[in-house]
Amino acid sequence: LSSLPEAFSYSPLSLPGSHHHTIARRDLFDARFQLLLRPTMTHDGRTIITPSGAEQHHHSAAAAAAAAADNSSSTDSDLVPGIYEGGLKTWECALDLAAYLDRDGKKRRGGRVLRFLGCGTAVPTLLFLDHLFAFLASDSLLPSGGGNGEDDDDVPLLHTEIHLQDYNRSVLELVTFPNILLAWYMSPLSAEYRSSTTIDLDLDLDPDSSNSDPDSAVDDGRRRRGPGAITVSEALLSAFTASLEAYRVHLRFFAGSWSTSLHQLLFLPPPPPLAESFESSTPRPYDIVLASETIYRSETLDAFIGLLRAATTMTRNVPGPPSLCLVAAKVLYFGVGGGVEGFVRAVEAEGGVVRTVWEHREGVGRRIMRIEW
């Protein structure tokens, strides 16, 4: 919360082939502007961006992120191995994955544990939250501490955990979390807060939209959004955190590589009061594991696949359906060595099965693969 600026701008992002489904996303230029406002320091004769209180590694990462934002059309700044892994941009495969989930109906509601590896701008998670928040706002649900349970049609709320990981902490601060906040702000769950504000211009329909489809303007009580800005006030943050607590939605953010230390961190038991709802203190298995544009470097495949396997095989001793594990990627990443063929071989070498569930063959090929063990 402390990393948020006083205000930030956003624009609508339409998912390809998803029946006009639109989500709000923080503008890249606005994230870059926030970087430029942070304190600076000199390193090796160059001025780099310095997040307050961050370690030296994060200084370099923020500098690389700023360069990428400043030269977003240049492929030279998309990736600085070991420093910045491209998380500020929304890549094609993230859009593919979100659109696939939207079309395929994998919009799980409450009581789930979702993990998004290499989240970046978190577009697939934003889609998940868009549907989740609309579902939670329905009258049939009982918020935490609310309702008397006398209505047989009432549905008790279950905890929903969403874990988001990116290599760079600056990416989580600049785009991931602001986008999560936007998803809530644009949802029916924020209606009470928005009605209490004197001016609410952020939810106006896009005046330039030429789409005459009436269903494109209203989707389960959510209106399509044009570009706008959101003021990050104490009242907004209080309403946001109170809403998540009331509806038992818990967010966790992790920064780092696919290392053993990160692997262990991901499976820590949930903190109180969430731990009180589980039968034991053991980590809760992941119901959904998503990853997008994460196999572009062949030297990191072993660690990444180990993380996927651990996340999805935890459910073997837990009743219920197996984990849904989806990896979206380009068939070949020119210049960096990774691609689908090497990933499939590495998964199969570890006893896994890879099944292509969606494919784009024009130009640079892209796939969505389901991984099972």
The token duo for 174 is 């600049």
Helix pair 28-37, 56-70: axis angle to 10 deg: 140
In this prediction, what percent of the chain has a pLDDT beyond 70? 63
Contacts 24+ apart (CB under 8 A), 197-205: 201/228, 202/228, 202/229, 202/230, 203/228, 204/228
Tokens of 190: 């924020």
pLDDT in tens, 213-233: 333 333 444 444 689 999 999
Q: What is the pLDDT of residues 323-344, one digit of tens each?
A: 899 999 999 998 778 999 999 9
Q: What is the mean pLDDT of residues 224-249?
A: 91
Residue 59 has pLDDT above 60, yes or no: no
Nearest to 236 by CA among 281, 276, 178: 178
- Looking at residue 356, what is its pLDDT? 98
* Confidence category of residue 109, pLDDT binned at 50, 70, 90: low
Encoded tokens for 230: 């959101």
Long-range CB contacts (within 8 A, 24+) of 136-140:
136/110, 136/189, 136/247, 136/249, 137/187, 137/188, 137/189, 137/191, 137/221
Position 322 pLDDT exceeds 60 = yes
Separation in Å, CA 92 to CA 245, 267, 329, 343, 352: 33, 29, 9, 18, 26
Mean pLDDT in residue range 55-81 = 50
The overall pTM is greater than 0.85: no
Residue 145 CA to residue 246 CA, distance in Å, equals 7
3-class SS at 353?
strand
For 178-213, how does the pLDDT look when each residue is reduced to its tens digit (9 = 90+)?
999 999 999 999 999 998 875 544 444 343 443 333
Phi, psi of 192 (to 5 degrees): -65, -45
Q: What is the reported pLDDT for 65? A: 55
The pLDDT of 137-162, averaged and rounded, is 60
Lowest mean pLDDT: which of 33-47, 106-120, 318-332? 33-47
Residues pairing with 67 in the sheet: none
Look up residue 271 and give its two tokens.
């903190």
343 vs 136, residue with greater confidence: 343
For residue 372, give the H/E element and its range: strand 366-372
